Structures are given as structure tokens and as C-alpha cells.
Structure 1
């Protein structure tokens, strides 16, 4: 359950849960507001951390379930 929460947080922070045209629009609006991309880099760093934590919690659950 904790792993799923981390994966959902990663999806929310990365913006993957929206359609392609909305993701493109968000990217261009974000780029105009922050030309250096600092906010995007920080958000993607946290997305990666949440995803890795999610995998770390989900992987043992899958292994225990099948073996």
C-alpha cells in the first residue's frame, strides 16, 4: 500500500497523468515562467525519488506473493 502511494505521488509530480496536449501546454507555460528550468529539475528529482521508493516497497510484496 505504501508503494502505491509513492507511485501515485510520482505520477502527480511528473504530470504524466494528463493528456499529451495538456502536458505540452504545461511544459511551454512552465518554460516561459522559469527559463532556467530549476523548478522542473527539482520536481523531476522528487518524482524519481518517489518512484524509486515505490518500487522498493512494491518489489518485496510481489516477490512474497509469488514465492
Structure 2
């Protein structure tokens, strides 16, 4: 009985609480970790460059 109570204690009750924990973790990592800030800024710059320069999709352009 005790182990079941412990599992329920840490389980998220619904999707919104799971999403809240995930977003809190992401924003905390960006706020506290320098390298994560670099990754986030670089990702946004690449995304914006793709939108501005209208890069085509790269489906099938990588062949192994």
C-alpha cells in the first residue's frame, strides 16, 4: 500500500500539469544554464533564417 501511495504522489494528474512541469523545466534551464541559452538563441536564429529566406524542406536531401 505504501509503494502505491508513493507512485500516486509523483504522478501528474492530467496533461496540463505535465505540460506545466515540462515548460517550467525548460524555462528554468534557459534561465540558469549558459549553454542552454546559447542553444535556444541559435535555434531561434536558424528558425527565423529559414522563414525569412524561405528555405525549402530538406526531405530526401540526405542520402546514406
Q: TM-score range by the shorter chain?
A: 0.3 to 0.5
Which TM-score applies when normalising by structure 1? Answer: 0.34
Q: Which has the higher helix share?
A: 1
Greater RCO structure (CA 8 Å; 6+ sep): 1
Report which of the two structures shows the higher radius of gyration computed on alpha carbons: 2
